């Protein structure tokens, strides 16, 4: 379907066409690109080809160091841009295909590019929307009968995270230090976290925002969701356990959050929409929607230690297990009049499924450190060690093609000495 040959196993098929921010050695300027196969289409080179009624006056958004300006244009402009890119890359379109000089300037091999954060993230909110994950964690700390708090089935629970420490894939993560209380009969101690964990998540970028005091209704929520990325919400469980009462996560979370660099447009994901989870009790009217907005996205986590020849897969799960949808998350976030802005990041919370191999955190996989996670070759873990590299992958499988996200990876560095 495209004049650019794409391997069927590639994450970046013609059906995907995600947006990202990249630079190259010979051109260090950060600019907007679209991934196709193993190539990047540099939109700053071809921005004059966006001649539609909406984008003809806003071609400069493709020559910016972030996607924020493009996100702010709204969903109709996103559709027009996608249609234009699809046309330019089509096997039947000659304007780019047959212009050798233009192609040499507009197409960059991904191996020659450095990826950057796709947006200037003004605010970051993390939800807690997997029923299996919330039940597992609640069971560990409160017992099976009180696993879910009374509000959990009534609203999408979330907290405001730290936007400044959101980093792009392959950025190393420093092991945090903080207060912990490993022995409940003694005072707290200070030192490097001994229970450093992953959280397999996904997140979406807000596109067009809303005015302060004007909620986004559920019927319009999809118009404000630009696209999705993979996320690892690194978590220091021992720091978190001591600090989280009464105001929730703080230093156990805000030391680093990793996202994948390519933002997959919602239009590319819509063919993989599935019926939403059955919600009982029925949510209040402002959170109700019947259209499917749950997605069949295959997810996996692999871990490779310093002394391991190959990475070991420790989790396989699916985004379709989520209880609360992205539309419900965004609507609930703004129902009190809170304003969201282009580039804001809203995350799903840990994505766990019903089976042990689908648990999206080491806290669950090791059941709070009570059992080892087998990595093969004699290697085991309960929580992360220094030098461990964690990689999250995700994709939707079509008929002979994939809509994938590329890797979301990070390596643990030793704690600094205090």
Instruction: Tell me what the mean pLDDT of segment 126-153 comes to.
Output: 96
Maximum separation of any 2 CA atoms in the chain, in Å = 74
- Average pLDDT over every residue of 82-111: 96
pLDDT in tens, 365-384: 999 999 999 999 999 999 99
With helix as H, strand as E and coil as C, how does 309-364 read?
Answer: CCCEEEEEEEHHHCCCCHHHHHHHHHCCCCCCCCCCEEECCCCCCCCHHHCCCHHH
| Structure-token pair, residue 361 | 């955190």
User: Is residue 93 scored above 90 in pLDDT?
Assistant: no
pLDDT of 212 above 90: yes
Q: Is pLDDT at 1 greater than 90 in this prediction?
A: no
Phi and psi at residue 36, to the nearest 5°: -145, 115
Report the distance separating Cα 418 and Cα 123, nearest Å. 30
Q: What is the pTM of this model?
A: 0.97
Provide the 8-state DSSP code for 14.
T
* Contact of 33 with 20, CB cutoff 8 Å: yes
pLDDT of residue 391: 99
Work out the average pLDDT over 92-96.
91
Q: Provide the mean pLDDT of the chain.
A: 97
The mean pLDDT of 25-43, rounded to a whole number, is: 98
26: pLDDT confidence band, cut at 50, 70 and 90?
A: very high
3-class state of residue 396 by DSSP = strand
Q: pLDDT band for position 94 (50/70/90)?
A: confident
pLDDT, tens digit, 9 for 90 and up, residues 159-189: 999 999 999 999 999 999 999 999 999 999 9
pLDDT tens digits for range 327-362: 999 999 999 999 999 999 999 999 999 999 999 999
Residue 309 has pLDDT above 90, yes or no: yes
Query: Within 10 A of 386 (CB to CB), how many other CB atoms are there?
Result: 15
- Report the candidate in 13, 52, 68, 54 with the shortest Cα–Cα distance to residue 36: 13
Pick the closest to residue 228 from 131, 299, 334, 154 (CA basis): 299
Segment (H or E) for 35: strand 27-36
Query: Which is the catalytic residue, given 15, 58, 133, 332?
Result: 133
Both tokens assigned to 272 = 């993989």
Give the per-residue pLDDT at 328: 98
**Is 116 labeled as catalytic in the residue annotation?**
no
Report the alpha-carbon distance of residue 20 to residue 40 in Å, rounded. 9
Average pLDDT over residues 13-30: 98
pLDDT at 226: 98
Q: What is the DSSP letter of 11?
A: S
**Model confidence band, residue 418 (pLDDT cutoffs 50, 70, 90):** confident
Torsion angles phi and psi, residue 239, rounded to 5:
-65, -45
Helix (H, G, I), strand (E, B) or coil at 236: strand
Statement: residue 96 has pLDDT above 90: yes
- Predicted confidence (pLDDT) per residue in 190-204, tens digit: 999 999 999 999 999
pLDDT greater than 90 at residue 230:
yes
Helix (H) or strand (E) holding 124: strand 124-127
231-241 pLDDT, tens digit each: 999 999 999 99
């Amino acid at each position: 379907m495209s004049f650019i040959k794409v391997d069927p196993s590639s994450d970046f098929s013609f059906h995907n066409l995600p947006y990202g921010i990249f630079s190259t050695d010979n051109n260090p300027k950060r600019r907007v690109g679209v991934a196709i196969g193993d190539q990047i289409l540099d939109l700053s080179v071809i921005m004059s080809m966006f001649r539609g009624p909406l984008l003809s006056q806003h071609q400069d958004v493709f020559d910016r160091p972030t996607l924020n300006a493009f996100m702010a244009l709204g969903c109709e402009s996103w559709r027009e841009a996608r249609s234009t890119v699809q046309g330019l890359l089509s096997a039947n379109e000659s304007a780019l295909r047959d212009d050798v000089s233009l192609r040499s300037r507009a197409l960059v091999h991904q191996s020659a590019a450095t990826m950057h954060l796709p947006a200037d993230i003004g605010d970051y909110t993390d939800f807690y929307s997997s029923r299996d994950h919330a039940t597992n964690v609640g069971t560990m700390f409160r017992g099976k009968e009180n696993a879910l708090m009374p509000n959990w089935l009534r609203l999408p629970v979330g907290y405001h995270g730290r936007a400044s420490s959101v980093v792009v894939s392959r950025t190393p993560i420093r092991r945090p230090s903080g207060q912990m209380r490993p022995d409940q009969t003694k005072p707290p101690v200070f030192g490097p976290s001994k229970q450093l964990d992953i959280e397999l998540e996904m997140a979406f970028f807000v596109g067009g925002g809303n005015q302060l005091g004007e909620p986004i209704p559920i019927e319009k929520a999809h118009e404000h969701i630009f696209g999705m990325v993979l996320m690892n919400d690194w978590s220091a469980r021992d720091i978190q356990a001591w600090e989280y009462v009464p105001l929730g996560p703080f230093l156990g979370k805000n030391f680093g959050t990793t996202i994948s660099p390519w933002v997959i447009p919602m239009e590319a994901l819509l063919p993989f929409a599935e019926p939403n989870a059955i919600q009982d009790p029925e949510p209040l009217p402002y959170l109700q929607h019947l259209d499917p907005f749950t997605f069949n996205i295959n997810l996996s986590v692999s871990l490779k230690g310093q002394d391991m020849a190959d990475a070991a897969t420790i989790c396989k799960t699916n985004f379709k297990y989520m209880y609360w949808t992205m539309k419900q998350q965004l609507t609930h976030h703004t129902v009190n009049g809170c304003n969201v802005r282009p580039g804001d990041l809203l995350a799903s919370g840990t994505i766990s499924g019903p089976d042990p191999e689908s648990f999206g955190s080491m806290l669950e996989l090791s059941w709070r450190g009570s059992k080892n996670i087998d990595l093969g070759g004699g290697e085991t873990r309960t929580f992360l060690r220094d030098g461990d590299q964690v990689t999250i992958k995700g994709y939707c499988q079509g008929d002979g093609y994939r809509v994938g996200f590329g890797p979301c990876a990070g390596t643990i560095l030793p704690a600094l000495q205090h």
